[in-house]
Structure 1
Amino acid sequence: MSVFTARNTETLLDIAADVIRLLKSANETVGVAESLTAGGVMAALTSVPGASAAFRGGVVSYATPLKQTLLNVDADLIAREGVIHAEVASQMAEGARKTTTYDDAAPTTWGIGTTGVAGPDKQDGKAAGTVYIGVASPSGSKAFGPFNFPGTRERVREATVMEALARLREELMSAAKG
């Protein structure tokens, strides 16, 4: 199980601003596919002045069929594993890149996918607080998790947004180092 890092001194806006700055400095873009966070990642990114230079848009695929139809998440995978799964998060991130690409000459560079259980009840046999985050780039995608974020429904969603942007920031920093 992945362990998330408690970030007490850094705000969500700090992390989102770093992400936008890194994307802009690399002349790259990001698209988002969210489930349990229901637009929270997109709201955080667009709260940064100048975000339109790097943020393309996204999809809130709260309903499972939308993950399949809008993001091309494999239906057999969902039938076998449910939507709270690492590969679903990765496929959502890939789907975010594809869905937000409007110019084949300049495809969306990065994608983020969030899937999990905000609570209060279990879903697909997974406990509230179970979360996976996907990050996709032109070189492939990866999933982080399962995270087990404690607390209320709102706290799980807030922690997921912060962790998703922190993971993207780490990937951007790693890519910039080459």
Structure 2
Amino acid sequence: MSAFLARSTETLLDIAADVIQLLKSSNATVGVAESLTAGGVMVALTSVPGASAAFLGGVVSYATPLKQTLLSVDATLIAKEGVIHEEVASQMAEGARRITTHDDAPPTTWGVGTTGVAGPDKQDGKAVGTVYIGIASPTGSKAFGPFNFPGTRERIREATVMEALARLREELMKARQA
């Protein structure tokens, strides 16, 4: 029951276009909170013509204190586990929904959070390439990972953006079928 073109290969723009189409067709919106991807998810989504109908905005919370103050990621969790953790990704996604809800508009439907280590060095005892992705919706949030993306800093970030949007697309399809 896919309304998408069958593809032998898929580009980031293909996945982002699918996400925007799914969001628009269900009158849903998305907000994003990014760390290691530094805005890459937002760039991909806004590369799709008509994205403004579904993409509301987001934040790059590269610094740990911003995850706590802007996104309400639990400081105790960060002190215990560090920022490269599945629950941090989930809380970032929830924070993305909250901070992009505005005025008298309905709450932002979906949130995406990315956290991980792009390198060059380990962080919080986690190896370069370790990534978690959070997806939040009105029915709850979940984390995906840990992923272990190989390659250069840029390759790890690109893989994270693609994986985050692919996971969001899967969750949107599940919600549509529910």
Give the alignment's TM-score, normalised by structure 1: 0.95
Structure 1 74/104 Cα, relative in aligned 2: closer, same or farther at 3 Å? farther
Which secondary structure does the structure 2 equivalent of 1:91 belong to? helix
Residue 124 of structure 2 is aligned to residue 116 of structure 1:
no
Matched with 1:84 is: 84
Q: Which moved more, 1:34-43 or 1:102-111?
A: 102-111
Distance in structure 1 (CA, Å) of the matches to 2:125 and 2:113: 20
Whole-angstrom distance in 2 between the partners of 1:121 and 1:156: 13
Q: Distance in 1 between matches of 2:105 and 2:152?
A: 43
- RMSD over aligned Cα, in angstroms? 1.1
Structure 2 counterpart of 1:58? 58
Unpaired stretches in structure 2, ≥5 consecutive residues: 1-6
Q: Which residue of 2 aligns with 1:172?
A: 172
* SS at 2:151 equivalent: coil
Deviation at 1:138, TM superposition (A): 0.2
Residue of structure 2 equivalent to 1:94: 94
Instruction: Return the alpha-carbon distance in structure 1 between the equivalents of residues 29 and 103 of structure 2.
Output: 12
**Structural mapping, 1:99-178, within 5 Å:** 99-178=99-178
Residues 84-140 of structure 1, C-alpha deviation per residue, up to 9 Å, x if partnerless? 000000000000000000035411000000000001100000000000000000000
Q: Which amino acid aligns with 1:27?
A: N
Q: Secondary structure at the match of 1:147?
A: strand
Superposed CA offset, 1:38-76 (max 9, x none): 000000000000000000000000000000000000000
The SS at the match of 2:45 is helix
Structure 1 residue ranges (4+ consecutive) displaced by more than 6 angstroms after TM superposition = none
Equivalent pairs, count: 172
**Correspondence for 2:70:** 70
Distance 1:35 1:8, change over 3 A: farther
Separation of aligned partners in 2, 1:15 and 1:126: 28
Matches of 1:146 and 1:48 in 2, distance apart? 28
Percent identity of the aligned residues? 87
Unaligned runs of 5+ in 1: 1-6
Task: State the distance in 2 between where 1:8 and 1:167 align.
Answer: 19
Residues 38 and 8 of structure 1, relative CA distance in 2, 3 Å threshold: farther
